[in-house]
Structures are given as structure tokens and as C-alpha cells.
Amino acid sequence: MLAIDQLDLEAGERLAVLGPNGAGKTTLLRLLAGLEAPTTGRVEIDGEPIAGADLELRRRVGYATQRPGLLATTVVRNVELPLRWRGLDGAARRAAALAALERLNIASLADRKALSLSGGEAQRVSLARALAIEPQLLLLDEPAAGLDAEVRRAFFDDLERALGDRATTVVHVSHRAEETLRLADSVAVLTGGAIRQLSDPASVVRQPADVTVARLIGYENVLSARIDGSRQVLIDGAPCGVIATTGPGAATLAAWATAVHVVTPDATPLRATVERISQGPGRWELTLVGSQTLHAHLRFDQHPPSVGDLVGVRIDSTHAVVIRTRPSAPPP
């Protein structure tokens, strides 16, 4: 269920909606596409309610879904189909369809059978079909969800290029922060059907509103903490090197793994035991266990400790953020 008080989109704005599975992201897109009607409230495009709207309004919206939903015909005919439904004649439809395929670098696939395409190719065709109608509003529902990392990156490169400097308003939903943030002018973090934070991408990354948002953004370390009278942030009662800007109280410390520095045990009061070391892309990835689990990344040229070593931990405050824990409501 969605419970959104108000969400305004400017023409040409690119909104990323970030949320975990089941947060209501797809429901939001279905409401925007006019495929579902809200039980209360309304969804409007240019001031007109989309639910129950005439076809002309719905046809201003392009929608690319998680599954490409291609039909058992050629690629170019798949892309032509929505143009046919909009009454374009044969030559104009073919030209527009080929142009849309060209924008996504897949013009060479035009005469292929759509059901014989690879996952990445099929998603590009699905996107070309949504773009071919030159939509006023483009809805993207995790369009690269089923693709491996490399194909996904290439897909978003092509998407970014295809959108170019067009004035199309875009709503892109995903549970992957890195994908949603790269296309966005603004980010809405959606959990449990409600918007937890709505701001520009940099603010969401640098100052997540709460623990849930911090986890969704991808902070590897989200730790229970306490701020003491001298504004030092304490992890398990030991200062970690971060100074808070607010007064004493319970807090959460969100820190990137690159902000967690491993030092000698006598250099800092915060200590942990090395539980696991593995090689990541261009780095060592360490799992450190005290009363809470921490994740640290070291460059390959840094000598890693051994599993079982007791180490000191210091957290770099420039890559960490203190989130004040909201006091729980008093019992009635």
C-alpha cells in the first residue's frame, strides 16, 4: 500500500525512486501509468487525473517494465506497435521505430525475431519501444533487473545517451542505489509505501535521513552509537574518531567501508577481531567483529592483517555520517 501525501514532478525532471522489494515502487509507477487507480487521492498529469483518463492522456506515458514483454514478431514491429496504435502511417512508423533503435545502438537487430534476443538486447528493445512514442513521461521499472553487472552498466550508458538532453520527464525505480542515482535530478526513498526522504542525490548520499535510507544508499557500516558530552561518537563505549555536531544521546553511525581504518590495537580504544579477509575489485575486503560487525576496505598496496588478529579501528569522519536516533514515543 502506498501512503504518499504529495509528490510533485516538474516537466523534464528525472526522479529516482529507491526502495527495497515490496516498498511500493511498482505500484507507484502503475498509478502514474494509469494502470491502477488510487483508493484515495489522485494522480494528475498536466492537471488531469490519469486514472480513468482518455487514451490520449495515457498515450503520453512510456513505460518500460522489469520484463521486456516483447511480442512474437520482429524487433522493428515490436517498436512500431505503439506507433501503429497511435495512428502513424507505415512509413512514419518505420522511420520512428528505426530512429528509436538507433538511439539505443540496436538498429542492427531490427529484423531479428524479438523472442530470440539475449536479455540485454531484449531490454534495449523494450526501452526503444517506450522511447519511440516520444513520451512526455517515461516510467522505468528496474529495466535492467535481470541483467548481469557488465550488461547493466552498458544498458545504463545507452539509456543515458538515448535520453540525452531531451525534456522527457523520467521516473526510474530500482532497489540499486548506484543505478538510480546516476540518472537522477532528485531521489525519493520509498519504504513501506511511504517516502522517507526526498532530496537531491548528493544530499541523500551525504545525509541519509535515517538508518533505512543509509542501508539503501549502500553504507556498508550502519552502527549503533552514542554521542557523549564532548560530542565524541562512541561505538560500544569507545571513541571511534568521529565528532558529532549535535549534543549527547543515542545515534547511528553510517560509514563507508573506505572510512574504516585498521590500526594497531594500542593506537585506539575501539578494537575488533579480523574474522574474514577476501579480495574485492581492486581492494581487500575485511570483516571485523567486536560487539558489532564492521566492514573495511584496504587498497591492495596496504598490507592486510591476518584472520584472528586483534586490531584497532578508527573511522574517518569525512566518509561517515551521524544519524540521530529518534526517541521512541512514550507509552500512553
Partner 1 sequence: MDAVPEVLGRSALVSLTATAIALALGVPVGTWLALGRRRGRGVLATAVNTGMAIPTVVVGLVVAMLLWRSGPLGDLELIYTLRGMIIAQVLIAGPLVAGITMAGLQALPPELPDQLRALGANTPQLVVRLWIEARVPLLAAAMAGFGHAISEVGSATIVGGNIHGQTQVMTTSIVEQVGKGDFQDALVYAGILLALAFTINAVLTSVQQRAAAWAQS
Which residues bind to partner 1, rule: CB under 8 A?
30, 33, 35, 55, 58-59, 61, 63, 65, 67, 69, 71-73, 81-82, 85-86, 113, 115-116, 129-130, 133, 139
Instruction: Give the nearest distance from C-beta 180 to partner 1 in angstroms.
Output: 20
Nearer to partner 1, 55 or 167 (CB): 55
**What count of residues does the chain have?**
332
Nearer to partner 1, 44 or 275 (CB): 44
Contact 259, 245 (CB under 8 A): no
Nearer to partner 1, 73 or 108 (CB): 73
What is the rounded CA–CA span in Å between residue 18 and residue 1? 16
For the CA atoms of the chain, what is the radius of gyration?
24
Residue 39: CB atoms within 10 A of its CB come to 7
Instruction: Give the nearest distance from C-beta 207 to partner 1 in angstroms.
Output: 35
Angle between helices 119-132 and 75-85 (to 10 degrees): 20
Instruction: Give the nearest distance from C-beta 69 to partner 1 in angstroms.
Output: 4
Nearer to partner 1, 136 or 273 (CB): 136
Instruction: Give the nearest distance from C-beta 303 to partner 1 in angstroms.
Output: 52
Q: In Å, how far are 14, 94, 215, 248 from 253, measured between CA atoms?
A: 30, 55, 11, 14
What is the rounded CA–CA span in Å between residue 62 and residue 127? 9
Instruction: Give the nearest distance from C-beta 194 to partner 1 in angstroms.
Output: 24
Contact 288, 257 (CB under 8 A): no
The runs of H, that is alpha helices, within the chain are 25-33, 55-58, 75-85, 90-103, 119-132, 149-163, 177-183, 201-206, 211-217
Nearer to partner 1, 113 or 206 (CB): 113
Nearer to partner 1, 66 or 292 (CB): 66
Instruction: Give the nearest distance from C-beta 111 to partner 1 in angstroms.
Output: 12
Nearer to partner 1, 80 or 179 (CB): 80
According to DSSP, the residues that pair with 310 across neighbouring strands are: 273
Contact 270, 236 (CB under 8 A): yes
Instruction: Give the nearest distance from C-beta 86 to partner 1 in angstroms.
Output: 6
Q: In Å, how far are 69, 233, 237, 253, 324 from 247, measured between CA atoms?
A: 54, 10, 16, 14, 10
Instruction: Give the nearest distance from C-beta 31 to partner 1 in angstroms.
Output: 12
Long-range contacts of 213-218 (CB under 8 A, 24+ apart): 213/189, 214/252, 214/254, 214/321, 214/323, 216/18, 216/19, 216/20, 216/175, 216/177, 216/189, 216/191, 217/18, 217/177, 218/177, 218/178
Instruction: Give the nearest distance from C-beta 82 to partner 1 in angstroms.
Output: 4
Nearer to partner 1, 125 or 205 (CB): 125
Nearer to partner 1, 109 or 205 (CB): 109
CA nearest to 216, candidates 178, 182, 162: 178
